[in-house]
Amino acid sequence: MPSYQAPLRDMRFVTDEMFDYPRHYASLPNGDDASPDVVNAILEEGARFARDVLLPINQSGDEEGCLLEGGEVKAPKGFKEAYQQYVEGGWPSLAADPEQGGQGLPPSLAMMLSEMICATNLAWGMYPGLSHGAADALRHHGTDEQKATYLTKLVEGVWTGTMCLTEPHCGTDLGLIKTRAVPVDGNAYAITGTKIFISAGDHNLAENIVHLVLAKLPDAPEGSKGISLFVVPKFMPNAAGNPGERNGVTCGSLEHKMGIHGNATCVMNFDDATGYLVGPPNKGLACMFTMMNAARLGVGIQGLGLIEASFQNSLSYARDRLQMRGLSGKQAPEKPADPIIVHPDVRRMLLTQKAFAEGGRMLVLYTAQMLDVVEHSEPSEERDHAETLLGLLTPIVKAFLTEVGFECTNEGVQIYGGHGFIKEWGMEQLVRDARITRLYEGTTGIQALDLLGRKVLMSQGESLKVFTKEIHKFCKAEADNPALKEFVEPLVKLNAEWGELTMGVGMKAMQDREEVGAASVDYLMYSGYVTLAYLFARAAKQASVSLAGDDKAFYAAKLNTARFYYQRLLPRTKAHAQMIESGAGSLMAMSSEEFGLGFEI
């Protein structure tokens, strides 16, 4: 079975030394509740819960999967008991509003806990994970009655939540949905339709499940402008607020997936199910985006957690596995062969995992600071700045970290060699679990269009300038720092090139809109690499200052990781830039018929 230790030392480096989280927390309302002692206690207890409760049921949950019996879904053995411990520990309410029974702590703290959960049992973590997004959507858009009925239960974790978007005939194009909502008595609606790929759609972990469902009213406009959002509980709450009679919501079947077997991915049937409108009519997509954006950050953290899990176990194996001698001679002469960690190619794979784990953690926790400000601050220039950065970085967190997450878990299998292919080692499960992160909550292509088309070009590049100005200020301030020359000089060039590439795509797009789609994925990956370069430069600054302290080995390793990133991973930007500049011509030149020439369909 794989092992795991929460990277608390690295988390504290990022939060306390790089981003000054203690001062950041103190500036927030109720910030005194997030004192360093409290934060450390929460992280240490969260690490214990992830390691001792979730990790032991990860492989067994994958092997057992979920079971649909008599219209009810049962999660794998141990999942329900783990969820009860999770609720009893108060974990679901960590960052929720005190008015709804939450603890009012910053969202960033919950995101650190989420990384540990994703690293130890991704499938289990999806059950409570979606509840946070459902609660956010109701908090922002629900009526007072809906909040009183559903929100406290979701915050406590007594009930869980889902979001029901996709249907059999449509994926991302939600304007094509067929689910209908017909007004009935009072403010209720009868919801009828089928939703697919619904994570945690049904299970036996909690006493009720609150579905947030996209549907169309009878007089709705065509397309995405005619979508409304409804809250549809599995069991109708009775007068006391407890689960009452069963609603017309059933799990029709479970999807048989390549990964995340421990999570119930359901086909959900709504047969005249009673639901209630959330937000204004025909504005459901805007309301649902509150939940979708939270979910996208959550999926990016899934990618990070899987990178860390793969790296830790790959490192352990590489230190123990003996094979061949080092190219420069015996490294462990007392042994029959050298540990494979001495071989350059194994080190390349390990360092790739390490760099993306540490860089990804910096990206998540940098973004998390912006989320804290947006969620807990009054309207101000600082809040506007944070909201712009949060919007820009969310698609990068989601797509970049899941793309490199899949790469890193594959490298883990490669480091194990033939053993990586064998189930008992647990490495192939990480690959299977990682694969879906590139798909759900918006594919990489959808995130890329959101970043380039919506966030950057539709703002005339202003959202990007907010970030590139920050990078420019850092580079200018450190221009004469000899310890950072190897990082600052290439970062200056990349920061300028980022703007030039953006302008180039924008100019081409004025003549041909296909240019945006042609450039978007490479643009997102380029943006991810440059963003991590900026964060590694900041990490290198902090590490170089702290080298003279007591933890010299940690800071030396941080500098070496930053150098590896700059020398062996950051050059990938050159290929992405060249592909961006090549334009849409070669992609769009071939007719659909030409794709199949040479074989018959």
Q: Which of 91, 104, 110 is nearest to 49 (CA)?
A: 91
Q: Are 160 and 210 in contact (CB under 8 A)?
A: yes
Structure tokens at 352: 């790739």
Report the C-alpha gap between 366 and 358 in whole angstroms: 12
Burial class (CB in 10 A: 0-12, 13-18, 19+), 420: buried
Q: Which residues are catalytic?
A: 441
Query: In the 8-state DSSP scheme, what is residue 594?
Result: G
Q: If you count them, how many residues does the chain have?
A: 601
Report the C-alpha gap between 447 and 467 in whole angstroms: 18
Q: Are 29 and 92 in contact (CB under 8 A)?
A: no
Report the C-alpha gap between 266 and 164 in whole angstroms: 10
Residue 101 CB neighbours (<10 A): 16
Q: Which of 50, 51, 49, 40 is nearest to 109 (CA)?
A: 40
* Helices and strands (H, E) in the chain, number of each type: 20, 11
Report the run of H or E that residue 371 belongs to, with start and end.
Answer: helix 344-376
Structure tokens at 318: 């590489």
Report the C-alpha gap between 450 and 392 in whole angstroms: 9
Structure tokens at 285: 């997509």
Q: Are 576 and 522 in contact (CB under 8 A)?
A: yes
